[in-house]
């Protein structure tokens, strides 16, 4: 298959992607992916979320050539993973969950070897540039086994970028990474995204996904149960919470809130959660005043991605 003459509209396309494993025990199987349809547009920062065992890693490993699919099709940057595997593999860089690296190679050696695997000519290799970008240049000659967990994570990112792939998949990249290293890693990933690299992220830190990703898909039991722009996905929860701090302590319950959710908080404030399709904040404030509560302070709490995730996967 000839390489596309121009960048494709979609970085990754999966149609009817299916995977069944033979489990331990006679005749038993595990259906890890169930005819998954998923399109990841070129240039997006895409989140792929789901509980443990939902099928995320199976999906990624099929793209990376580590798992053979049972059915369906998948393409990376316009290259079918079966018909054109070499170009498909060359278009993607994958940062795995596991810290898999040779402990006796230095970061500099690891990147040079990785570049050789992809056939990158020595004159075109950017080992120093990449190691500086991930903050490992001063460790370029150290054995990989002497690196901290956070440094090993960054080395995996560096290895995934040696062939300058247009698609980068990050599978739980900040697991076990401290706050400062996490910030440095995301600064680098953001810079790659700004240069046009399509980023696919799986993470259990839902606040990361909400902050970084423009589009999020949620997979559960091998099925894609949602795939929408992040803001639209969050808006699925048709609710807000009005938090009121009264001038003087009050006793619960307060009359007038029987048709909504009323809860006292340890601080002495109370929270009223209501459907935005049925009620307004002005109506809730009128109820507070009608109950004779003098307001000292108030705030509005919006639903976040964690709320949506729990609702969809529970």
- Same domain for 296 and 255? yes
User: What are the pLDDT digits (tens) for 193-235?
Assistant: 999 999 999 988 888 999 999 999 999 999 999 999 999 898 8
Q: Would 204 be classed as within a structural domain?
A: yes
- Same domain for 192 and 52? yes
Structurally, the chain folds into a number of domains equal to 2
* Mean pLDDT along residues 128-151: 89
247 Cβ neighbours under 8 A, 6+ residues apart:
294, 295, 296
Q: Would 254 be classed as within a structural domain?
A: yes
- Same domain for 289 and 256? yes
- Same domain for 145 and 259? no
Cα–chain center distance at 309: 12
- Same domain for 56 and 196? yes
25 band by pLDDT with thresholds 50, 70 and 90: low
* Mean pLDDT along residues 24-46: 89
Is 29 in contact with 22 (CB distance < 8 Å)?
Answer: yes
Is 307 in contact with 210 (CB distance < 8 Å)?
Answer: no
Q: Would 10 be classed as within a structural domain?
A: no
Cα 89 to Cα 85, 128, 313, distances in angstroms: 6, 23, 32
**If 0-12 CB within 10 Å is exposed, 13-18 middle and 19+ buried, where does residue 146 land?**
exposed
Q: Comparing C-alpha atoms, which of 181, 238, 190, 191 is closest to residue 214?
A: 190
The residue range of the domain holding 268 is 239-307
Above 60 in pLDDT, residue 4?
Answer: no
Which tokens sit at 277? Answer: 């399709």
| Alpha-carbon radius of gyration of the chain | 24
271 band by pLDDT with thresholds 50, 70 and 90: very high
Above 70 in pLDDT, residue 5?
Answer: no
User: What are the pLDDT digits (tens) for 155-193?
Assistant: 999 999 999 999 999 998 887 777 887 888 888 899 999
Lowest mean pLDDT among 21-25, 102-106, 215-219, 246-250: 21-25
Neighbour-count burial for 67-95, b at 16+ CB within 10 Å, e otherwise: bebeebebbbbbbebeebeebbbbbbbbb
Cα 31 to Cα 62, 100, 159, 171, 252, distances in angstroms: 14, 27, 32, 21, 49
The strand pairing partners of 226, in sequence order, are 218
Q: Would 5 be classed as within a structural domain?
A: no
Stretch (H or E) spanning 114:
helix 107-117
Cα distance between residue 221 and residue 295, in whole Å: 46
Above 80 in pLDDT, residue 3?
Answer: no
- Same domain for 125 and 268? no
- Same domain for 168 and 288? no
Above 80 in pLDDT, residue 24?
Answer: no
- Same domain for 140 and 195? yes
**What pTM did the predictor assign?**
0.81
Which tokens sit at 168? Answer: 């980068």
Lowest mean pLDDT among 5-9, 161-165, 229-233, 262-266: 5-9
Q: What is the pLDDT of residue 2?
A: 43
Is 206 in contact with 309 (CB distance < 8 Å)?
Answer: yes
Stretch (H or E) spanning 117:
helix 107-117
* Mean pLDDT along residues 248-269: 91
Q: What is the pLDDT of residue 1?
A: 39
- Same domain for 51 and 96? yes
Is 227 in contact with 38 (CB distance < 8 Å)?
Answer: yes
The CATH number of whichever domain residue 96 belongs to comes to 3.40.50.300
The CATH number of whichever domain residue 258 belongs to comes to 3.30.70.1560
Cα–chain center distance at 56: 10
DSSP one-letter string for 194-256: HTT-EEEEE-S-HHHHHHH-SEEEEEETTEEEEEEEHHHHHTTS-EEEEEEEESS---SPPTT
């Amino acid at each position: 298959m000839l390489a596309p003459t121009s960048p494709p509209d979609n970085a990754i396309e999966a149609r009817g992607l299916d995977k069944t494993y033979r489990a331990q025990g006679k005749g038993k199987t595990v259906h890890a992916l169930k005819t998954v349809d998923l399109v990841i547009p070129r240039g997006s920062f895409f989140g792929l979320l789901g509980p443990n065992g939902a099928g995320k890693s199976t999906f990624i490993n099929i793209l990376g050539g580590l798992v053979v699919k049972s059915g369906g099709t998948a393409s990376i940057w316009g290259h079918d993973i079966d018909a054109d595997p070499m170009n498909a593999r060359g278009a993607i860089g994958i940062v795995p969950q596991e810290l898999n690296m040779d402990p006796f190679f230095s970061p500099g050696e690891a990147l040079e070897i990785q570049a050789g695997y992809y056939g990158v000519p020595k004159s075109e290799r950017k080992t120093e540039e990449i190691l500086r970008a991930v903050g490992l240049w001063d460790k370029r000659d150290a054995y990989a086994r002497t690196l901290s967990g956070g440094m090993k994570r960054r080395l995996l990112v560096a290895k995934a970028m040696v062939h300058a792939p247009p698609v980068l998949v990050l599978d739980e990249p900040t697991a076990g990474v401290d706050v400062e290293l996490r910030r440095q890693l995301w600064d680098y990933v953001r810079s790659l995204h700004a240069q046009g690299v399509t980023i696919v992220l799986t993470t259990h830190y839902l606040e990361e996904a909400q902050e970084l990703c423009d589009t999020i898909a949620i997979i559960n039991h091998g099925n894609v149960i949602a795939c929408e722009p992040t803001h639209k996905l969050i808006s699925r929860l048709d609710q807000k919470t009005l938090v009121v701090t009264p001038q003087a302590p009050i006793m619960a319950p307060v009359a007038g809130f029987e048709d909504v959710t009323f809860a006292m908080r340890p601080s002495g404030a109370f929270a009223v959660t209501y459907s935005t399709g049925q009620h307004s904040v002005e109506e809730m404030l009128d109820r507070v005043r009608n109950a004779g509560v003098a307001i000292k302070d108030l705030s509005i709490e919006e639903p976040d991605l964690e709320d949506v995730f729990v609702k969809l996967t529970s």
